[in-house]
Structure 1
Amino acid sequence: MSRYTDFHEPEGLRVRGTVLVVPGRGETQATYTRLGSRLAADAYRVRVLDAPRVAPGDVAASLEHLAADLTAALDTVVLARPLVLIGADSGAALVSALLQRGDTTAPWWPEAVVLAGLPSPVGADAADWAAELDIRTTCPAHRAVLTDDTAFERGSLRTPLPPELTTPTPTDLPRLILIGDQDPLADRPGLTAAVHASPRSRLSTVRDAHHDVLNDRQHRSVAAEIISFLETLGNGLVPIITVESSAW
């Protein structure tokens, strides 16, 4: 597989920003074809990286490797601001921890971040592939993508992440956190507390979604939520549209 998978904005449209996607445990670049295509259709330049490794007992090294990977990913892309990082599962946990270092001069330092499926320190109770699929998603198309991907690492959710990667922390950076309300790996109270302590953070819970919240049945609505968040970046984080009156 290529080092990156790129999704380009439609020809003739002004690029609205650059998005780097950091996959999670077991996932490959192919996992995010659907999301990348959808964001690119809205004129965002999207690049999907390989899933970062979490070095056992050496979180610092894992963060250094991710920082190097993000820097390398930007070396060969025409950067259009804002730069946004999207992380899923362990990718989200590593991105979150990397941002806590506050290295604002790094070339990969973003204007905003989207963290999806942030896991708790507990590994998944998945005895086999069928059980892991049920934890991840009920979307038939996504289940087929994962099952048919020979590079996908099955059973990876059973390996818990170090506690220092799964403790939600406040931040001043604009941040959208996405979790499924059927995700058994989500630490919802911890995420809620972290968001309440961060005035520029938002926690969005996706109804009936599982751990792979970016790719579950609700993927269109989730992509729309991400686009809506990105649109607010140029508007002082004030929503473009607010509901004044509604009967539902």
Structure 2
Amino acid sequence: MSAAPTDHPLAAWDNPPAIAPRGTVIVVPGRGEHPALYGRFGQRISADAYLVRAVGDPAQDPDAVAAQIRALLNDPALPAPRVLAGSDGGALFAVALAAGGADVDGLVLAGLPVTGAPAAPPGEGSSEIEARTSCPTHGRLLGSDPGFRPGALNEPLPDAWFDAADLSRVTVPVLGLHGRSDTVSPFDAARERYAEGANVELYALAEGPHDALNDRNHRVAAATVLLFLERLRLGAALPEIAVRELPGPGPASTPGPVPTPGTTPAAATAAATVPAAGSAAGSGEVSGR
């Protein structure tokens, strides 16, 4: 019997006691996942004083999960900025909510689907886990967790979600994290989908598979999310906090100037590449604003 969202109550990670909360991140899991699988991400983000709450898998019960999210957004104890952070189907669901007028201040999207069914069906067992993550720790967790639903990545997402998840209607800042080696939602197709939005920053994770938040580059992904949250606290224009003035070692090309808000659509959708763990450094260019 499949587990419904109510079988997995909300998971919560709070700010350190001596530090006032800086904002709220609501995690929306992907197909087959449940809130507790985001413990590593939640602990890392909450350590920097953001309250993190994780809801159920919307692919199992979209109405129940939407109600969970509404309750969290209406909770006066959860401070702004309030950000939905979705992975896989949870990312698509988050876009649909934001496009429909949900009162959120930003979106973090990981492994955003581009079609209802995977581009390359991952099957089940070890092949599905490899399509999700190359992190051995997270892979072992998925393989041993009784609440994880094997084979869920093969389940198509509703067409209605894709119709509702119109990035051109999303007015809040969007951070996209996408594995360049994602076989479930291929990067090039995802980049085209992100290009529909006017307020998007997209990062490519070098050699990354589908689960951008729980892959071997999870520290880099979390750091990228934290920088986005810190900039969002300064305003929806996401003013730069750290600006690279010299290119340093790496590719020979010298980065151009940091683009300003409202510039060309090409600048708003150019993808940065975050280097794979243990590989040579990537360009570090920030796409979008």
Give the TM interval when normalised to the shorter protein: 0.7 to 0.9
Residue of structure 1 in register with 2:167 after alignment: 169
Residue of structure 2 in register with 1:237 after alignment: 238
Q: Report the TM-score when normalising by structure 1.
A: 0.87
Q: Does 1:16 align with 2:19?
A: no
Report the CA distance shift for 1:79/1:181 in structure 2 as closer, same or farther (over 3 A): same
Question: Aligned-pair distance for 1:209?
Answer: 1.1
Q: Distance in 1 between matches of 2:26 and 2:74?
A: 12
Report the CA distance shift for 1:164/1:68 in structure 2 as closer, same or farther (over 3 A): same
Counterpart residue identity of residue 9, structure 1? N
The answer to whether the Cα contact below 8 Å between 2:180 and 2:207 also exists between their aligned partners in 1 is yes
Residue of structure 2 in register with 1:126 after alignment: 122
Residue of structure 2 in register with 1:247 after alignment: 248
Q: Distance in 1 between matches of 2:158 and 2:144?
A: 29
Residue of structure 2 in register with 1:114 after alignment: 108
Question: Aligned-pair distance for 1:77?
Answer: 7.0
Residue of structure 2 in register with 1:154 after alignment: 150
Counterpart residue identity of residue 55, structure 2? L
**Is there any run of 5+ residues in structure 2 with no aligned partner, and where?**
1-6, 250-289
> What RMSD, in angstroms, separates the aligned Cα atoms of the two structures?
2.0
Bigger RCO of structures 1 and 2 (CA < 8 A, at least 6 apart) = 1
**Is there any run of 5+ residues in structure 1 with no aligned partner, and where?**
56-61, 104-108
Question: Aligned-pair distance for 1:234?
Answer: 2.7
Q: Distance in 2 between matches of 1:153 and 1:44?
A: 29
Q: Does 1:32 align with 2:38?
A: yes
The answer to whether the Cα contact below 8 Å between 2:13 and 2:42 also exists between their aligned partners in 1 is yes
May I ask how many residue pairs the two structures share in their alignment? 236
The answer to whether the Cα contact below 8 Å between 1:119 and 1:186 also exists between their aligned partners in 2 is yes
Residue of structure 2 in register with 1:142 after alignment: 138
Residue of structure 1 in register with 2:273 after alignment: none
Question: Aligned-pair distance for 1:192?
Answer: 2.7
Q: Distance in 2 between matches of 1:39 and 1:154?
A: 27
Identity rate, percent: 35
Q: Report the TM-score when normalising by structure 2.
A: 0.76
Q: Deviation string for 1:136-169 (max 9, x for gaps)?
A: 1110100011111101100000112133434663
Residue of structure 2 in register with 1:42 after alignment: 48
Could you say what secondary structure the match of 1:45 adopts?
strand
Q: Does 1:204 align with 2:200?
A: no
